[in-house]
Amino acid sequence: MMRATWPELARWQDVSYPLTGLSLDPQQSINGAETVVPTMRGKWTMTAQVVIAGEAAQLEWQTFVAQMEGRIGTVLVPMRSRFRPMDRNGKFTPFRHTAQFARSQTFEHWGFEATAISRATVAADAALRSTRLSIAITDTTGVRPGQIISIGERAHRVQAAWSEAEGTQNLMIQPPLREAVAAGADVELSRPVCRMRFASEGEGVIDENMARVQSVSVNFVEAV
């Protein structure tokens, strides 16, 4: 299975990522009352409108689509949000770990990696399917409900957050942990990601026309 590199030159115009499959279809009794049954198997989906401007961005995007191989490949999709956790100085953390680099179409693969800044770590072991997480905060003022974090390749939205001791926070998260996590694992606050694949075979295809700027709607679903 191909692991694609995220196209950094693509620019989001609109993006939404709801959790789907949280419950079964409601069943009605003879008196009209509905029974909603939770599934505990909700997963992330994403719909984005992407703007692609210029030769480098278009070639990078075409490379990305080729690497995805329809629904076969996967990619770490950045879970962009407007209000991210703040650093220890009370400033919003940058979404990018590194500045843009000049790129050439001669690169075989696209994308650059930079050493991430560790702002929080898992404070205590957490079991598979757990919805509660204890984190140790270092370079941050803390996590707020509604924000998104990621651990490894999995994203989680914070439902509730509270502190019982200085330097630590307890979080209620959704969806439940996909796998057990050990104390000391990094918690990504600045640039949370989620391992995803295309929702259908034809996602991301752009027209081969002469327009310098193109836009495309693309849909992803979490690779569970």
pLDDT higher than threshold 90 for residue 209: no
The total of other beta-carbon atoms located within 10 Å of residue 59's CB is 18
What band does 93 get if pLDDT is binned at 50, 70 and 90?
low
pLDDT score for 103: 41
Question: How many Å apart are CA 6 and CA 74, to the nearest integer?
Answer: 10
**C-alpha separations of 28 from 37, 57, 71, 193 in Å:** 12, 51, 36, 38
Which amino acid type is present at position 193? Answer: V
Token pair, residue 215, equals: 């836009």
| Residues 14-68: tens digit of each pLDDT | 889 999 988 888 777 788 888 888 887 789 999 999 999 999 999 999 999 999 9
Q: What percent of the chain has pLDDT over 90?
A: 57
Question: How many Å apart are CA 217 and CA 212, to the nearest integer?
Answer: 17
CB burial of residue 18 (10 Å; 0-12, 13-18, 19+): exposed
Which of 149, 143, 4 shows the shortest CA–CA distance to 62?
A: 4
Q: Which residue has the higher pLDDT, 95 or 33?
A: 33
Number of residues that this document lists for the chain: 224
What band does 95 get if pLDDT is binned at 50, 70 and 90?
low
Q: What is the four-CA torsion angle of 79, 85, 87, 92, rounded to 10 degrees? A: 80
Helices (H) and strands (E) in the chain, counts: 1, 13
Token pair, residue 39, equals: 């599934």
Q: Which residue has the higher pLDDT, 218 or 115?
A: 218
**In angstroms, how far is CA 66 from the centroid of its own chain?**
21
Q: Return the residue matching tokens 């997480």.
A: 133
Which of 69, 58, 84, 78 shows the shortest CA–CA distance to 140?
A: 84
Which of 139, 140, 170, 144 shows the shortest CA–CA distance to 157?
A: 144
pLDDT higher than threshold 60 for residue 102: no
Which of 139, 192, 148 shows the shortest CA–CA distance to 173?
A: 148
pLDDT score for 90: 76
pTM of the model: 0.82
pLDDT score for 140: 87
pLDDT score for 198: 97
Which of 142, 178, 216 shows the shortest CA–CA distance to 44?
A: 178
